[in-house]
């Protein structure tokens, strides 16, 4: 897998059913910590809401996900929200649905429909983008090579995570998986550049 789909910006939308208001928020997230910040902020902003249900999926292996019904009947909120994220085939994405109760019980089918619809609506208003899968590497080289290394990294849209530059330079970079061999070849063509893969 060389590419994955995700969102890059936040979005929100609203759905109403028999007096209840469901407000959906989509956020790009890289970690569970990122997600928690958004959830805490929404709980403050919507303190009078009865439920803050959510789902997220992070990473490209598909194993890092979570969903919560936040007091709604089991399986009526978190799962339908996660189902919408998965139906779009996206990751590094979270959706939080805030519910203001309108006085009429919706029942299990009504709740599933409301949370599913709210999640689907918010994913309709946020653009889905394709990003390259990045492999992490550490580069170690003489400072005199800095310019040549930077030209290669920029040319292939590599991402620099960490940079330490003194007499010798150490970079932690993300290299697009699809261009790995070419970039390796170019970097190895430079004098005294050490390349090591990070887990």
Same domain assignment for residues 39 and 116: yes
**Structure token pair of residue 159:** 């991402």
Same domain assignment for residues 51 and 113: yes
**Structure token pair of residue 73:** 């009947």
Question: What is the predicted pLDDT for the residue at 17?
Answer: 97
Compute the radius of gyration of the chain from its Cα atoms.
22
pTM equals: 0.86
Question: What is the predicted pLDDT for the residue at 191?
Answer: 87
Domain range for residue 167? Answer: 133-197
Angle at 27 between CA 155 and CA 86, to 5 degrees: 90
Same domain assignment for residues 122 and 150: no
Instruction: Identify the CATH number of the domain in which residue 24 sits.
Output: 3.30.230.30
Question: What is the predicted pLDDT for the residue at 199?
Answer: 76
Instruction: Identify the CATH number of the domain in which residue 151 sits.
Output: 3.30.70.1110
One pLDDT digit (tens) per residue for the chain, 199 residues:
899 999 999 999 999 999 999 999 999 999 999 999 999 999 999 999 999 999 999 999 889 999 999 999 999 999 999 999 999 999 999 999 999 999 999 999 999 999 999 999 999 999 999 999 999 999 999 999 999 999 999 999 999 999 998 889 999 999 999 999 999 999 999 988 999 999 7
Nearest-10 Cα torsion for 122, 127, 131, 136: -50
């Amino acid at each position: 897998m060389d590419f994955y789909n995700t969102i890059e910006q936040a979005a929100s939308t609203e759905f109403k059913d028999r007096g209840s208001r469901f407000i959906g928020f989509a956020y790009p997230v890289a970690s569970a910590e990122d997600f928690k910040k958004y959830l805490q902020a929404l709980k403050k902003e919507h303190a009078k809401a009865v439920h803050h249900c959510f789902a997220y999926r992070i990473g490209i292996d598909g194993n890092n996900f979570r969903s919560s019904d936040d007091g709604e009947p089991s399986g009526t909120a978190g799962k339908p929200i996660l189902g919408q994220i998965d139906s779009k085939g996206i990751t590094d994405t979270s959706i939080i649905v805030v519910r203001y109760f309108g006085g009429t019980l919706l029942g299990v089918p009504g709740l599933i429909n409301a949370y599913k619809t709210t999640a689907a609506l918010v994913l309709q208003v946020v653009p889905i983008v394709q990003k390259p899968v990045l492999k992490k590497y550490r580069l170690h080289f003489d400072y005199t090579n800095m310019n040549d290394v930077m030209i290669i990294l920029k040319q292939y849209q590599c991402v620099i995570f960490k940079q330490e530059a003194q007499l010798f330079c150490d970079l932690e970079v993300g290299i697009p998986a699809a261009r790995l061999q070419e970039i390796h070849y170019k970097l190895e063509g430079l004098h005294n550049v050490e390349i090591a893969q990070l887990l």
